[in-house]
């Protein structure tokens, strides 16, 4: 399986369960790995034949900036659903972290893997 990845996408968002977290934005960092068959794009050298990761980054950033979830788990799940559903990706791994959220720790976060079957209605 070929994969396209995007690491370290930083976005400001309202996320958290504490009252103070509901009133400020915090930095979240997003890592994506997306299944993609890259053979056609490699043969044609055309952006139209691959996953446009700039479009993915813009869509995910815009969504996260507007979101106001309490749990990082919920935010991570919604990002996975957007990537799989809107970009026709058969498999995605999404990691979302909140650097500095825990005193004495560099980072804390959630990683999930989802497929198209997870979002079939």
How confident is the prediction for the chain on average, in pLDDT?
Answer: 95
Structure-block tokens of residue 73 = 């788990």
pLDDT in the model for residue 103:
87
Tell me the domains of the chain and their CATH numbers: 3-119 (3.30.1130.10)
pLDDT, tens only, 93-111: 999 999 988 888 889 999 9
**Cβ neighbours for 85, distance < 8 A, ≥ 6 positions apart:** 119
pTM for the predicted model, two decimal places: 0.94
Active site members: 98
Quote the CA–CA distance of 30 and 46 in Å, as a whole number: 26
Residue 28 to residue 104: CA distance in whole angstroms: 18
Per-residue pLDDT of 15-71, as tens digits, reads 999 998 899 999 999 999 999 999 999 999 999 999 999 999 999 999 999 999 999
């Amino acid at each position: 399986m070929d994969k396209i990845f995007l690491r370290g996408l930083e976005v400001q968002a309202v996320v958290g369960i504490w009252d103070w977290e509901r009133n400020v934005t915090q930095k979240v960092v997003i890592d994506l790995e997306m299944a993609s068959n890259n053979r056609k794009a490699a043969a044609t050298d055309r952006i139209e034949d691959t996953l446009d990761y700039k479009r993915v980054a813009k869509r995910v950033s815009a969504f996260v900036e507007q979101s106001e979830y309490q749990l990082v788990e919920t935010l991570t799940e919604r990002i996975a659903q957007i990537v799989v559903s809107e970009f026709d990706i058969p498999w995605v791994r999404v990691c979302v972290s909140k650097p500095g959220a825990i005193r004495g720790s560099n980072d804390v976060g959630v990683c999930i893997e989802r497929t198209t079957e997870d979002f079939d209605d």
